[in-house]
Amino acid sequence: TGTARDDATRPGGPADSPFVRACRRRPVPHTPVWFMRQAGRSLPEYREIRANVAMLESCRRPDLVTEITLQPVRRHGVDAAILFSDIVVPVAAAGVDLDIVPGTGPVVAEPVRTAADVQRIRPIGRDDVPYVDEAVRMLVRELGDTPLIGFAGAPFTLASYLIEGGPSRTHAKTKALMYGEPELWHALAGRLAEMALAFLRVQIEAGVSAVQLFDSWAGALSEADYRRFVLPHSAAVLAGLADAGVPRIHFGVGTAELLGAMSEAGAEVVGVDWRTPLDVATRRIGPEQAVQGNLDPCLLLAPWPVVEAEVRRILDEGRAAPGHVFNLGHGVLPETDPEMLTRVVALVHELSARPADR
């Protein structure tokens, strides 16, 4: 397992790529850019592969995972690939009966209600997700100098699917359990933190160059509740990877009021959605962490001159941060014209190009 990593750290290799350098607040030849959900329904070549294969099934086939992960790298020239998988893949591997329903998202057959339900969620390791280990190893070989990002869902966002039984707008059942049965909440969140940590370790062992912890729905919480019920569990995931040698990214949506607290969880990079300008976000996060973001995904549905002006603004505001990875504020919308993404990558590279000697 050492070989993949040793090879990755050579000069010019993935660990020395503009993406990883920006995560570590080091000088870069240009601002790196990738897109959350860059692999997916905006690409006709993705829709073709997925036409007759269910989502979870596709995540368990290393050949398909590899091909789907590479598609946006080939097409757009992004600075990083992100493993094609889903945050509920390790949950299913832990024995929870769930499916990813087209047009809906994750649906859990028997939502978590009791301590016994929590105990049925088994600890996982490499042998529970061999297809992830295999796909990452294939991808690291195929990608050469382009870094691969591994990811996991954070305890709050995973808990929401498990408690609600599916996607939720209010997260009402989740909050009811959190407030009404705090011990049960902490038992569940603790178990999900262990799951996320184990899942990320498998990906790091197999050779990913960075990891992102997705707490997509944490913005539903007040800062006080976030600090009390969520931050310790997310911090435990990130702390468990402190010696792993790869940068950690911590992302959520609607987190303007949580950026300070989230930055305390310990990641090298804090993801920011489109609601908070990156210079404002940087003041909340502090000088010790890089930022990632934050073009509104809906903007990619606007005419090019509008997109161009927004890309310029975000690069300007990103200069206030000690490191900037360009991205969207959330995932690519399925109706996005892929040509827009290709043009954004080229524009970010062109506008941010630094002289070679820097």
Question: Can 284 be counted among the known catalytic residues?
Answer: no
The number of beta carbons lying within 10 Å of the beta carbon of residue 97 is 11
Catalytic residue among 5, 25, 50, 284: 50
Q: Does 344 bind ligand 1CP (CB under 6 A)?
A: no
Among the residue ranges 32-40, 261-269, 285-293, 301-309, the one whose residues contact ligand 1CP (CB under 6 A):
32-40
Q: One-letter amino acid identity for 345?
A: V
Distance separating alpha carbons of residues 38 and 328, to the nearest angstrom: 10
Catalytic residue among 5, 21, 133, 161: 161
Nearer to ligand 1CP, 25 or 295 (CB): 295
Select from 293, 312, 299, 313 the least CA-distant residue to 341.
Answer: 299
The number of beta carbons lying within 10 Å of the beta carbon of residue 305 is 8
Question: Can 161 be counted among the known catalytic residues?
Answer: yes
* Binding-site sequence positions: 37-41, 86, 161, 216, 330
Q: What is the CA radius of gyration of the chain?
A: 19
Among the residue ranges 36-44, 137-145, 228-236, 302-310, the one whose residues contact ligand 1CP (CB under 6 A):
36-44
Catalytic residue among 7, 16, 41, 296: 41
Among the residue ranges 31-39, 179-187, 219-227, 298-306, the one whose residues contact ligand 1CP (CB under 6 A):
31-39
Give me the least distance between CB of 60 and ligand 1CP, in Å please.
13
Q: Does 238 bind ligand 1CP (CB under 6 A)?
A: no
**Which residues is 290 bridged to in the sheet?**
269
Which of 23, 43, 65, 82 is in the footprint of ligand 1CP by CB under 6 A? Answer: 82
Characterize 158-191 residue by residue with b for buried, 16 or more Cβ atoms within 10 angstroms of its Cβ, and e for exposed: bbbbbbbbbebeebebbbebbeeeeebbbebbeb
Q: Does 87 bind ligand 1CP (CB under 6 A)?
A: yes
Which of 13, 29, 30, 55 is in the footprint of ligand 1CP by CB under 6 A? Answer: 55
Distance separating alpha carbons of residues 289 and 119, to the nearest angstrom: 36
Write out the two tokens for 28: 């870069």
Footprint of ligand 1CP on 58-77 (CB under 6 A): none
Among the residue ranges 83-91, 108-116, 178-186, 304-312, the one whose residues contact ligand 1CP (CB under 6 A):
83-91
Q: How far is CA 275 from the centre of its chain?
A: 18
Nearer to ligand 1CP, 90 or 106 (CB): 106
Catalytic residue among 37, 126, 275, 283: 37
Distance separating alpha carbons of residues 207 and 112, to the nearest angstrom: 33
Question: Is the separation of the CB atoms in 156 and 237 below 8 Å?
Answer: no
Which of 2, 11, 102, 180 is in the footprint of ligand 1CP by CB under 6 A? Answer: 102
Question: Can 50 be counted among the known catalytic residues?
Answer: yes
Nearer to ligand 1CP, 68 or 291 (CB): 68
List helix spans (H) across the chain: 2-8, 18-23, 44-50, 55-59, 62-76, 89-93, 115-119, 130-143, 155-164, 172-180, 182-206, 223-225, 231-239, 259-263, 278-285, 304-318, 338-352
Question: Can 41 be counted among the known catalytic residues?
Answer: yes
Q: Residue 54 phi/psi, 5° resolution? A: -65, 155
Which of 23, 100, 196, 236 is in the footprint of ligand 1CP by CB under 6 A? Answer: 100
Q: One-letter amino acid identity for 89?
A: V
Non-local CB neighbours of 111 within 8 Å, separated by 6+ positions: 117, 162, 163, 164, 165, 173
Question: Is the separation of the CB atoms in 252 and 294 below 8 Å?
Answer: no
Question: Can 343 be counted among the known catalytic residues?
Answer: no
Which of 13, 29, 105, 111 is in the footprint of ligand 1CP by CB under 6 A? Answer: 105
Which of 33, 36, 177, 272 is in the footprint of ligand 1CP by CB under 6 A? Answer: 36
Output the residue with the shortest Cβ distance to ligand 1CP.
Answer: 105
**Binding site residues, ligand 1CP, CB under 6 A:** 36-40, 50, 55, 82, 84, 86-87, 100, 102, 105-106, 151, 157, 167, 214, 216, 331
Q: So which residues are the catalytic ones?
A: 37, 41, 50, 86, 161
